Chain A
Amino acid sequence: SQTIHQWPATLVQPVGSPLSLECTVEGTSNPNLYWYRQAAGRGLQLLFYSVGIGQISSEVPQNLSASRPQDRQFILSSKKLLLSDSGFYLCAWSVLGNTGELFFGEGSRLTVL
């Protein structure tokens, strides 16, 4: 069966520090991968998605970047965090050609102080 892992689960970082959140998927090949951000426990905003290694699409211009160095690995990064980067970050995957449902990881809560 497929599983998705995100880490770290919780992170507290000072303003201006770098960020790296990692997501890996097991049990499937060539997944579509996604990073969403959820602010204040409400709506989800799509940040990045990827259909393959090295292929990143950005939905919202911001202080963050994403990379996909391996087929089942998706990394969210920042060189210098802002206060507004605080939130709950969710990684998700889907199967290319399926009917659209996403499968989410457990999330990473980032607090920028």
Chain B
Amino acid sequence: AQSVAQPEDQVNVAEGNPLTVKCTYSVSGNPYLFWYVQYPNRGLQFLLKYITGDNLVKGSYGFEAEFNKSQTSFHLKKPSALVSDSALYFCAVWMGGGADGLTFGKGTHLIIQP
């Protein structure tokens, strides 16, 4: 069975600094990997996904993520954080071919300090 780990409950970053939100996965095979963002009392919004090809994936709102197969990681990054980036971020994995949905990590609270 696949699983996703987000080792940090919370990440604090000063506005303007680069940010990284960590994600590692455990699967047998080649995963499809996703990042979502959730603002308070809202649904999840899709940010980006990795299927195959270039290990650096660019997504919405200036976010990008780097797929590292040897480290089984898919960390979310942004070169310069904004206060408005403060939210709950979820990493997710899907093994493809089925309809049984995504497996999500527990989420990481990202707090951008002015």
Q: Do A and B come from one complex?
A: yes
| Residues of A bordering B, CB below 8 Å | 6, 32, 34, 36, 41-44, 46, 49, 51, 57, 59, 88, 90, 92, 94, 96, 99-107, 109
Known pairs A49-B99, A57-B100; list 18 more (Cβ under 8 Å): A32-B99, A32-B101, A34-B101, A36-B101, A41-B40, A42-B107, A43-B90, A43-B104, A43-B107, A44-B90, A49-B101, A88-B41, A90-B44, A92-B43, A100-B94, A102-B102, A105-B43, A107-B41
Which of chain B's residues have a CB closer than 8 A to the CB of A99? 32, 49, 51, 96
Q: In residues 49-105 of chain B, which contact A (Cβ within 8 Å)? A: 49, 51, 88, 90, 94, 96, 99-105
Chain A contact residues: over half helix, strand or loop, or mixed? strand
Which of chain A's residues have a CB closer than 8 A to the CB of B100? 46, 49, 57, 59
Nearest B-chain residue to A105, judged by Cβ: B43
Picked from B88, B94, B103, the residue with its CB within 8 Å of the CB of A41 is: B88
Q: How large is the interface on B (under 10, 10 to 19, 20 to 34, 35 or more residues)?
A: 20 to 34
Which of chain B's residues have a CB closer than 8 A to the CB of A44? 44, 90, 104
